[in-house]
Structure 1
Amino acid sequence: MPKQTFFNLPEEKKATLIRAARKEFSRVPLNDALIANIVKEAGVSRGSFYQYFEDKDDLYFYLLDKNTEDRWAVFVSELKKHDGDLFAAMTGMFYSTLSLINEKDTRDFYSNMFLNMNYKIEKTFKHTVKLEEFNKQMSNVLPLIQIEDLHAANNEELFHMLQITMTIMIQALMLKFAQELSDEEVAKHFELQLKLVKRGFIK
């Protein structure tokens, strides 16, 4: 998490830093990104950067956290739109995310993220949390999900259902960049896997 000094900055200066960071992380993956480029683009000193963030990883994962919050809001919106249908909501979030990563200003950022995915990045993007935290965070969302339509005996099973469906979405989006698939091919891959999970493997 950024230091409090970052949050105390004027909104315009925070936005400038974020734009500079996104530009650098769009240019190269996290491991190759340079703080020197970020501070130069943002017009701040290197010393100031370390007053705001521990290191470039701290800044990068802050950006991913903000992205995850936005994606979660989309998921909640899709749940409401589809009357609690988990699979319809996940499909809606998939297409929303697919549209987002196709935008000119975000495509390179997501390309670098998906092509250099590791456990920490995937965990952040999936918003993976412990079951105890999940129960707290889901307190406002659980009433939206039509749980009676799912074979979920409890919140733990629902937790894993969400993780599985989210993994299917992430893998499909990774394939888009790794194999340079078209949106149609990626959507077909995602929808087939989601359909198989929804139907179940056992006759």
Structure 2
Amino acid sequence: MPSKTFMNLPKVKQERILEAAKKEFSEAMFSDVSINRIVKAASISRGSFYMYFSDKHDLLIHLLENFQNQFDQKLKSLGEAAGGNIKKLILGLHDYLFTAIAAEENCNFLTNYFTYSLSASVKNHHQARSMVSSMTKLRESLLEYVDKNQFDKYYEDDLETIIDAHLIILKHTLAKAYLQKTNSKKSRKDLEKLLGILKDGYQKKEEKNA
């Protein structure tokens, strides 16, 4: 967590430091991240850096928390716009995340973070482990915005599993689009197809009733 000293800085200076940090984390793997480059780009002294953050782990976690806060705000607006419909909500999430990932700096930053989060050096780092569990937090948030009445009562005890299935499909679609350099329109169409299969199933009607 940043110190009170950092939080008391003018917002403009805070943003300058965080932008310099984000750029560094986007351009270098965690082990190669240089505090010297960050402080130079942010026009602060190395001593000042350590008045604000304990180390680069601490700085990274703060950057991720900022991402999470921005995402939470967007999720709230998407949830309200979807009116409880899970398909509309997942499609809205797709469009938002696709745009965010398409930004090269964001993409590189997140790629480097996930590589870091899976490394041996971070396995005992409690704060970083908590960020890896963000999918659980996302599921809990979606449950707040999804109208349970749209699901068959037979599955009312399996809502978390249903949400997880939608999120897995969303992750798969975004990963596929990233790897295959698919545009947003094609990616969205792929997602709609998979969501349709999830909703309607893939068996013939006579097989379903057998």
Where in structure 2 are there 5+ consecutive unaligned residues? 119-127
**Deviation readout 1:80-123 (Å, 9 max, x if unpaired):** 21211122111111111101222355343344346x27455794
Is 1:195 matched with 2:196?
Answer: yes
Answer yes or no: is 1:89 the counterpart of 2:89.
Answer: yes
Structure 1: gaps spanning 5 or more residues: none
For these two proteins, the number of residue pairs brought into alignment is 192
**1:24 Cα deviation (Å)?**
0.5
CA, structure 1 residues 124+81, in 2 after alignment: closer, same or farther (shift >3 Å)? same
Identity %: 27
3-state secondary structure, aligned to 1:106: helix
Post-superposition shift, 1:189? Answer: 4.8
Code of the residue aligned with 1:128 in structure 2: it is T
Q: 1:185 to 1:198 in 2, by over 3 A?
A: same
Partner of 1:153: 156
The two structures have a TM-score, normalised by structure 2, of 0.72
Distance 2:42 2:104 in 1: 21
Aligned residue in 2 for 1:14? 14
Whether 1:128 and 2:136 are equivalent positions in the alignment is yes
| Bigger mean CA deviation after superposition, 181-190 or 47-56 | 181-190
Deviation of the 1:12 alpha carbon? 1.2
Aligned Cα root-mean-square deviation (Å)? 3.3
- 1:180 Cα offset (Å): 4.0
**Corresponding residue for 1:65?**
65
Shift of 1:47: 2.4
How far apart, CA to CA, are the structure 2 residues paired with 1:166 and 1:64?
A: 20
Letter in 1 for 2:147: Q
Tell me: CA distance 1:52–1:194, structure 2 relative to 1, closer, same or farther (3 Å).
Answer: farther
Q: Is the 8 A contact 2:91 2:188 kept in 1?
A: no
TM-score normalised by structure 1 residue count = 0.74
